[in-house]
Chain A
């Protein structure tokens, strides 16, 4: 069953067409990678789905329920949670209060609330910093805080906007492990990420945005081999010059290496 359905979605900022005619659907329980070069419209797409911004054209359905007219707080309470590329935390509150507030808004109270917050802090390995004012946390911790806060909403669909940017290799491995654990719990995810190692590792499917349009959709290993995807990232001259060689090097080679790891 499709948990999320996007139909003919478009967004203009003044005369600039940022997204045009985007249509796709996400199957429940799957992890979909969303990639594309800078400025492709990935974050805008996430903003539209989460209700932080309104689409100019098109429709969005979450469990067959139209989202494109709901305020974002209603969408969050329906079980569609997100993180932000540039961290947005409640800096006046402690880490624990940040997470607890999210669980509180969906109606948890008393012992159950505290137990859930404890569980989330343990899951994201933040328990030892629970009392720290979140403004004083390091960037990787703030990113994990955003994830914990999103999970506190008991999401059915999670939109992750570059949660792993800026992590070192060890932290990255941990983060991948965490996302795999979430997938096992049955949370559907749409993951924006530049790190192909992450995308290849956790995605069942990859969709590619380029200049506001969907240019590819398929298995991770298929998608990275497509010439239009390589063109989007590396330019057409690069692809032409490499076309003679059967073996794709550069980004393609790197991506294949990532694929073998998984």
Chain B
């Protein structure tokens, strides 16, 4: 059975990932943590960009807000970090839900541009709010060990993949795919498209905030320009596209591939890493418009877009 084979593959990959900290060095664990973080972020982006067909260019807002809010609550309000983390994740989810309501009325490029503006506006607000650390950034207590953060990030990535899997195999996931195919027809069969889209956007925001919250305590120093860096959104997008938008494994595959490529390029030259990323984007658009998973599979979870559409149009 195809499903059993996929389950077996997933279990193997997970087992391999679990073995990394005891068997390798701190450097590899650090790279692995970053890959797991991006797998989680790309998985979150996939829910709104891949499944629902609304290519967001502002998902970094959720990552950044999650990190800054958790930091502020713990440093400035003296909450225990676990409580600050939960509050920050939930708060960011509500933020995504509320902003999704107006933003998701826009379609295609208009939505993309509006979300780009959302990320920049959030950055501006956070930078100018004293409670959130302002432009100075903030230092968090140094806790844990590299291995711990690796495992926490990994579990967020697994959660992200699990949510995607459950969605794809549910009628709610079919609802999102229906919206992606044809929103007017989706409404005509009684789907409350506003609710469906906004909840997908909120889920996307929750996953972004989770990664942000862990990133903050992992790095122990955060400032707005770093956590609101637009290239984080671009990476989420490129990884998902490269792996296969709308698939479960796509974002993970993309995150691992881009992660490895970046590290290899860094070994050659510091500046070459962004060159590799750029070439990667061009290669994906030209040769793999449906992504690695998308090009191989047909039917559910794979064949997501029309034959001739540009990938970013979803």
- Residues of chain A touching chain B, judged by Cβ–Cβ distance below 8 Å, are 50-52, 71-73, 76-77, 81-82, 84, 88-94, 97-98, 100-102, 104-106, 133, 135, 149-150, 152-153
Contact = CB atoms under 8 A, between A and B. Distances in A.
Contact of A101 (B187, B189, B303, B306): B189
B299 A149 contact: no
Nearest to A47: B184
Interface in B230-273: 246
Interface string B295-308: 00011100110100
A131 to B, nearest CB: 9
Given A100-B171, A105-B191, A90 B298 contact: no
Given A102-B190, A104-B171, A92 B184 contact: no
Contacts of B171: 100-101, 104
Given A73-B191, A73-B193, A97-B174, A92 B186 contact: no
Given A101-B171, A104-B171, A133-B299, A90 B177 contact: yes
Interface in B280-314: 298-300, 303-304, 306
B181 A105 contact: no
10 contacts: A51-B187, A76-B187, A89-B181, A90-B186, A91-B306, A92-B177, A97-B174, A101-B175, A102-B189, A105-B175
Nearest to B185: A88
B299 A105 contact: no
A224 to B, nearest CB: 31
B187 A90 contact: no
Given A90-B178, A97-B174, A149 B189 contact: yes
Given A89-B185, A94-B299, A101 B178 contact: yes
A150 B298 CA distance: 26
Given A73-B193, A133-B299, A133-B303, A90 B188 contact: no
A93 B51 CA distance: 12
Nearest to B246: A92
Contacts of A91: 181-182, 306
Contacts of A101: 171, 174-175, 178, 189, 191
Given A101-B171, A101-B175, A90 B181 contact: yes
Contacts of B180: 92
